[in-house]
């Protein structure tokens, strides 16, 4: 009798937790759909051919587009990811595979500090280290600032997924006479590829929407440029500047910029997932 009562309690407890998880998932998706729906309603009118093929108009003039910001976003975010990816994966591998290394404690502390630091401070650091010595704002400086945002996220994500890889894989590689670095490179990292890609996507999405560090680094540019050593526009930066402007047309374009930015992040995530599945 007691056993049947126990089983019944466990069953209903399990049902209750599933119900709570379902409610939480629905609420999270509801917020996402509300935000995206509101952005779609307000920004869809500005999404036309000119928006993707023309640069912005001067203040007070209607029309134009954000071609320079779209191209700049792809360049700055892509360059930032290229800078952050090897550093983050290398640091995460060191934390997970060499826990007794003397560099492990300071790297973990630095990663946690950078992860908790406001993004605008990272932009100020890059302003002092790169913008002032170069004497000009640049897309490269913006990429470094975004890299500062991505590195700690990739580092801790890589460390987390590598610790989940079974130790038998390490032992098998070492038993074959492979050096430790070769085991990590050829066995451990491929085994954790899906988790690492997830961490990279999260880091990229986190950095792609930042405007604050770009105010002090890439600065913005109303004209199209592909030179990363010159001031460069990005969608988050232009969205911020349009949102605080007094012009209704710029407000519509700001909502449209948010939609395009969201689409770029989703597209990058889908491509990363597709590439990972192809190689698994």
Task: Identify whether residues 42 and 56 lie together within a single domain.
Answer: no
Task: Identify whether residues 33 and 85 lie together within a single domain.
Answer: no
Question: Residues 184-199: pLDDT tens digits?
Answer: 998 999 988 888 998 9
Task: Identify whether residues 235 and 262 lie together within a single domain.
Answer: yes
At 168 the three-state DSSP class reads: helix
Task: Identify whether residues 153 and 174 lie together within a single domain.
Answer: yes
Q: How many CA atoms lie within 13 A of 124 on its CB side?
A: 5
Q: What's the rounded mean pLDDT across residues 171-184?
A: 89
Task: Identify whether residues 29 and 123 lie together within a single domain.
Answer: no
Task: Identify whether residues 101 and 13 lie together within a single domain.
Answer: no
Task: Identify whether residues 13 and 111 lie together within a single domain.
Answer: no
Task: Identify whether residues 28 and 91 lie together within a single domain.
Answer: no
Average pLDDT over all residues of the chain: 90
Q: In this model, does residue 280 exceed pLDDT 60?
A: no
Task: Identify whether residues 40 and 175 lie together within a single domain.
Answer: no
CATH value at residue 243: 1.10.3720.10
Q: pTM of the prediction?
A: 0.87
Question: Residues 14-72: pLDDT tens digits?
Answer: 899 999 999 999 998 998 889 888 888 888 888 889 899 999 988 888 888 899 999 99
* Domain around 268: 52-279
**Nearest alpha carbon to residue 244 among 216, 213, 211:** 211
* CB 181, CB 101: distance < 8 Å: no
* Angle in degrees, 0-180, between the axes of helices 235-243 and 67-97, rounded to the nearest 10: 120
Task: Identify whether residues 143 and 193 lie together within a single domain.
Answer: yes
| Domains held by the chain: number | 2
Distance of CA 249 to the CA centre of its chain: 29
CA distance 145 to 141: 6
Task: Identify whether residues 119 and 248 lie together within a single domain.
Answer: yes
């Amino acid at each position: 009798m007691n056993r049947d009562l126990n089983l019944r309690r466990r069953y209903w407890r399990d049902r209750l937790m599933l119900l709570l998880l379902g409610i939480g998932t629905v609420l999270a998706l509801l917020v996402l759909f509300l935000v995206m729906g509101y952005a779609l309603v307000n920004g869809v009118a500005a999404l036309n051919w000119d928006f993707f093929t023309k640069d912005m108009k001067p203040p007070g003039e209607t029309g134009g587009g954000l071609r320079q910001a779209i191209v700049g976003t792809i360049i700055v975010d892509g360059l930032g990811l290229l800078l952050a990816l090897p550093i983050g994966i290398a640091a995460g591998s060191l934390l997970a595979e060499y826990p007794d290394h003397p560099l492990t404690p300071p790297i973990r502390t630095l990663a946690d500090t950078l992860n908790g630091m406001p993004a605008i401070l990272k932009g100020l650091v890059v302003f002092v280290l790169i913008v002032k010595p170069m004497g000009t704002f640049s897309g490269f400086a913006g990429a470094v600032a975004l890299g500062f945002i991505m590195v700690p996220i990739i580092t801790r994500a890589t460390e987390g997924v590598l610790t989940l890889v079974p130790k038998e894989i390490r032992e098998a590689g070492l038993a074959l006479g492979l050096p430790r670095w070769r085991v990590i490179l050829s066995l451990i990292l491929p085994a954790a590829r899906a988790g690492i890609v997830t961490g990279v996507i999260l880091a990229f999405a986190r950095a792609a929407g930042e405007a604050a560090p770009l105010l002090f680094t890439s600065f913005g540019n109303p004209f199209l440029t592909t030179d990363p050593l010159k001031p460069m526009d990005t969608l988050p930066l232009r969205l911020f500047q349009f949102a605080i402007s007094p012009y209704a047309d710029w407000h519509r374009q700001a909502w449209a910029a948010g939609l395009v930015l969201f689409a770029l992040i989703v597209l990058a995530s889908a491509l990363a997932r597709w590439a990972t599945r192809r190689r698994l």
